[in-house]
Amino acid sequence: MPLPYLWSALQAADRPIVIYGMGNGAEKVLDACAEHSIPIAGIFASDDFVRYQSFRGFTVKRYADLIEELGEGFIILIAFSAFTDELLARIHTLCETHTVYAPDFDVFTSRYPAPDFAESHAQDLEKAFALLSDARSKDVFRILTDYKATGLALPLFDAHDGRAESIRELLQLHDHERYLDLGAYRGDTVAEFLEATDGRFDSIDAFEPDPKNRQKLTEYVASLPHTGIGIYGAAVSDRKDMLTFTGKGGRASHLADEGYNIPAVAIDDLHLAPTYVKMDVEGAERAALLGMRETLRHHRPKLLVSLYHHIEDYITLPLLIDELTGGGYTYHLRMHPYIPAWDVILYAVPEEE
C-alpha cells in the first residue's frame, strides 16, 4: 500500500496546521504550503526566541499560545534543523501529542520529493540498497525512503546513531592515517579525527574555501601541538576552476549563482595519497568525487561522505562511489541525530585484499 504523501496528507487534514520555526526553513515550508493551497493557522518558536515579532504576516507566538488558541490537536511542521539534545528531545515530546512533520527539501533550494519519488528512482533504489553491507544500513535506508514520501518526524528517531561511535566502529582509524578533510569548516572535523586517533596520524590536509571559516580553522590548527597539518583555501570540484561562493562564514556557505569567486581544485591534480577522506562540501559532493576518481582507484581510502544536501544523494552518491572505485568496498549507511534527515552519512571501507 502506498505511503501517504506529505503534501496530499496536509491538503486533506481536518485539523489546524502550524509551523514551528522561522527563517529560511519557514520560508520554504510556507511557499510549499501556498503552492498546494494548504492553510497555515499560526507560527510558533521556542520560548527564548519569541518576541511576538512578525514573520510573513504571522505573529510569531509561543507554543502555549497556540495550545490556548487552537487546542492540542493541531499538526506541526518543523521548519528548522535540530541537532542538539535539548531540541531533539523537545521535538520528540511534541511527537507524543501531535502529528509532526519535518518536510524534506534540498538543503540550499526549495526542491522537495515528488509524489512518485520512489517509483521514478526504483531501479537506483534497488541498486543502492543492494550495495549496503549490514542490517542497520538497510533499516536506515528504508526509513529514509519512507520519509521522502511521508515527511513524518517521529520515525527518523529510529534511524539515529552516534557519530563518534560510528566512526570508531566502522572506520577503525589507525595511528598512521593520511587524512583528507574536504569541507573542514572551522576545525570541528579535524578535532573529531584527532579524538578518534588519540592525536596520532601521518598527515592532515584540510580544505575550506570560505574565508571566515578558514580563519577560524587556521586559528584552531595554530593552537594544536601537532605538525603535519596543511590548510587549503580552495573548494574541491571535478577540475581546476573559479567558482561562485556565497555565505557569511557559517555552515550555510556554499556554491551559488551570486557571491564571490573562489578557486576550485580537483584532488587528482594534487597527487595526494590519503588513507581516509571525509567529504562534506555543501552539495558539491558529486563534482568532488569525480575530481578524485584516480585517487580513489589508486589509494582506496576509507570514506565518510555526506548524503543529504540533495534529496536523492543517499541513492546516487553510493552508486557513483562504487562506480569510481571499481567496487571492493563495504558500504554502511548511518544517520546521526538530526531533524530533518540531515547528517546522513556513507561510511565506505575498502575490503582487505
Give the C-alpha separation, 153 to 338, whole Å: 10
Domain ranges within the chain, ordered by starting residue: 6-103, 172-306
Give the C-alpha separation, 44 to 63, whole Å: 6
H, E, C per residue of 310-337: CCCHHHHHHHHHHHHHCCCEEEEEEECC
Q: Please tell me what DSSP assigns to residue 339.
A: B
Place of cell 597539518: 229
- What pLDDT sits at residue 353? 53
- What pLDDT sits at residue 257? 63
- What pLDDT sits at residue 244? 76
- Quote the pTM value: 0.94
- What pLDDT sits at residue 261? 81
* Closest to 71 measured CA to CA, from 28, 26, 41, 111: 41
Helix boundaries (H) for 205-255: 211-222
Q: How many CB atoms lie within 10 A of CB 252?
A: 13
H or E stretch including 19? Answer: strand 17-20
The C-alpha cell at 180 is 583528507
How does strand 302-306 pair with strand 329-335?
A: unpaired
The C-alpha cell at 56 is 510573513
- What pLDDT sits at residue 352? 78
On the question of a common fold for 6-103 and 172-306, the answer reads: yes
Q: Class of the 172-306 domain?
A: alpha beta
Query: Taking phi first (over 0 means left), then psi (-120 to 50 degrees means alpha), and beta for anything else, what does residue 205 get?
Result: beta
Q: Which fold has domain 6-103?
A: Rossmann fold (3.40.50)
- What pLDDT sits at residue 3? 77
Mean pLDDT in order along the chain per 10 residues (353 residues): 87 97 96 97 95 95 97 96 97 97 95 96 98 98 98 98 97 97 96 97 96 94 96 93 68 62 92 97 94 97 98 98 97 98 97 75
CA triple 182-297-167, angle to 5 deg: 45
Q: Please tell me what DSSP assigns to residue 13.
A: -
Give the C-alpha separation, 158 to 208, whole Å: 33
- What pLDDT sits at residue 53? 94
Concatenated DSSP letters of 26-72: HHHHHHHHHHTT----EEE--GGG-S--EETTEEEE-HHHHHHHH-S
The C-alpha cell at 87 is 531540541
- What pLDDT sits at residue 126? 98
